[in-house]
Amino acid sequence: MDYIKGDSLICKVLHDHPETEEVFAKHGMHCRSCMGAADGTVKDGALMHSVCLASFLAELNKKVRDNKTINGDSGNS
């Protein structure tokens, strides 16, 4: 299941899945302090930071899945 897509708003991703902040930071995206995160999409951020969108989305979604597994969430919500 993909929780995050290219058209997902960065601010919503960080709000709903705070564990992804380290993935953003790993790629030089310090989105919590960036005004562009308010209306920018994950695709916008990837393009701006020259990051491959497909692998970035895979990494973000893996982080969310791993976090749900650790916290005992089945992901069916």
pLDDT for 33 equals 72
pLDDT for 68 equals 82
- pLDDT (tens place) for every residue of the chain, 77 residues total: 788 999 999 999 999 999 999 999 999 887 777 777 778 999 999 999 999 999 999 999 999 999 888 777 655 54
d(CA 65, CA 37): 22
Q: Is residue 74 part of a domain?
A: no
pLDDT for 29 equals 86
Beta carbons of 17 and 35 less than 8 angstroms apart? no
The whole domain housing 51 covers 10-63
Q: Is residue 70 part of a domain?
A: no
Q: What is the number of domains present in the chain?
A: 1
Q: Is residue 54 part of a domain?
A: yes
Q: Is residue 1 part of a domain?
A: no
